[in-house]
Structure 1
Amino acid sequence: MSFLFVSKFDKLYGAGLFFLLLLMVSGNDDFITKYDKYHTVCKKMGYQDKQCDEKEVIAFHARLTTYLRNLKDKDVVVFGTVTLNTGKGYNPTTGKFTAPSRGHYSFTWTIATDAGYMFSTQLVINGNPVSYTHVNGKSRGNNYETGSSTVILKMEKNDVVSILLCDTGPLAARPDWSSFSGFKL
């Protein structure tokens, strides 16, 4: 007999288990109890509800630890204070995020400057620029200025994303007010 065909025994066995299942969930039990019994029987039979499988979570959030001044063009902006790093993709020593798995990722970064300073950055994937932000604290008097950008990228496992400085001059980025975050969609 081929394994592609179900034998009479298998059909009777399956029908018997289904009948037992119906007996178990019938009666005066409340909905939750019936639901729990149903899933217990299904799991013992080797079935699993795919909707209950937890999705892989990859997310990080980091802030600047200290003032950034006198950086050179194309230096990596390192956000050293990590508040979340689920999936361990972000490295607070290098300032780089390495994708633990293939998928679509969303990244957002915010830069805050002191009055009289500016700060321009770019997000790069594997060294290639994707998006930019420019904050000009020189034009508004004594106010702090902020700028943010968000980008969604399709990434392969081990692709690397980082924020690079893309300007020179009187630069300053404020700690705690400047941040970098990302997550897998």
Structure 2
Amino acid sequence: MSFLFVSKFEKLYGAGLFFLLLLGVSGIDDFIANYDKYHSVCKKMVYQDKQCEEKEVIAFHARLSTNMRNIKDKDVVVFGTVTLNTGKGYNPTTGKFTAPSRGHYSFTWTIATDAGYMFSTQLVINGNPVSYNHVNGKTGSGNNYETGSSTVILKMEKNDVVSILLHDAGVFVARPDWSSFSGFKL
């Protein structure tokens, strides 16, 4: 019977069982009576039950507000229509995302261009290129719009900055609403 109790207890409380046994807890009544004390000790030891841990949510999504035409090489592509900005990391005025906290982040950007035009971009972190996206509406037939998407996962420190820059020179057009930039902390 005690083996069955220990087995169920381990499933519910994991590593906490070993800690409680070391402190001499012999039954469920002792556990309930001393729960607040043990919980306080565990918190001081920086132990936290993963089921109760609240995850910091950082996520954003923004779309181009207007056509982007003939911007200069290395200019920031500003996605000005924000649909989500939990954690307030994305700045729709500058087009830059600043990491509110350290961690791993995933970023995706999609560019749509008019038929007959191209649009090449690069994602940079702190000014250093990491990934590229090229959309070529000059190939193919008819009046088809072309799209391209890229995704990257980055390890970031607090206050690292990510943005999408134009990569190349020439006649470029990116369509509003169909072009977007999003990211979230894993």
Question: Normalising by the residue count of structure 2, what TM-score does the alignment of the two structures yield?
Answer: 0.77
Query: Aligned residues, how many?
Result: 155
- Give 2:167's aligned residue: 166
Write the letter of the residue equivalent to 1:184: K
Shift in Å, 1:83: 0.7
Residue 68 (str. 1) matches residue 78 (str. 2) = no
- Give 1:132's aligned residue: 132
SS at match of 2:77: coil
Residue 19 (str. 1) matches residue 25 (str. 2) = no
Shift in Å, 1:45: 4.2
Shift in Å, 1:104: 0.8
- Give 1:7's aligned residue: none
SS at match of 1:97: strand
Equivalences for residues 44-123 of structure 1 within 5 A: 44-45=36-37, 47=39, 49-123=49-123
- Give 1:145's aligned residue: 146
SS at match of 1:169: coil
SS at match of 1:19: helix
Write the deviation string for residues 14-55 of structure 1: whole angstroms up to 9, x where unpaired. 668x4266xxxxxxxxxxxxxxxx7xx84x446264421211
Task: Give distance in 2, aligned partners of 1:50 and 1:169.
Answer: 52
Residue 155 (str. 1) matches residue 156 (str. 2) = yes
Residue 180 (str. 1) matches residue 181 (str. 2) = yes
Task: Give distance in 2, aligned partners of 1:80 and 1:105.
Answer: 21
- Give 2:9's aligned residue: none
Task: Give distance in 2, aligned partners of 1:106 and 1:166.
Answer: 21
Task: Give distance in 2, aligned partners of 1:117 and 1:93.
Answer: 26
SS at match of 2:69: coil
Shift in Å, 1:74: 0.4
Task: Give distance in 2, aligned partners of 1:167 and 1:140.
Answer: 21
Task: Give distance in 2, aligned partners of 1:75 and 1:170.
Answer: 14
Between the aligned residues of both structures, percent identity stands at 81
Quick check: which has more Rg, 1 or 2?
1
- Give 2:20's aligned residue: none
Question: Normalising by the residue count of structure 1, what TM-score does the alignment of the two structures yield?
Answer: 0.77
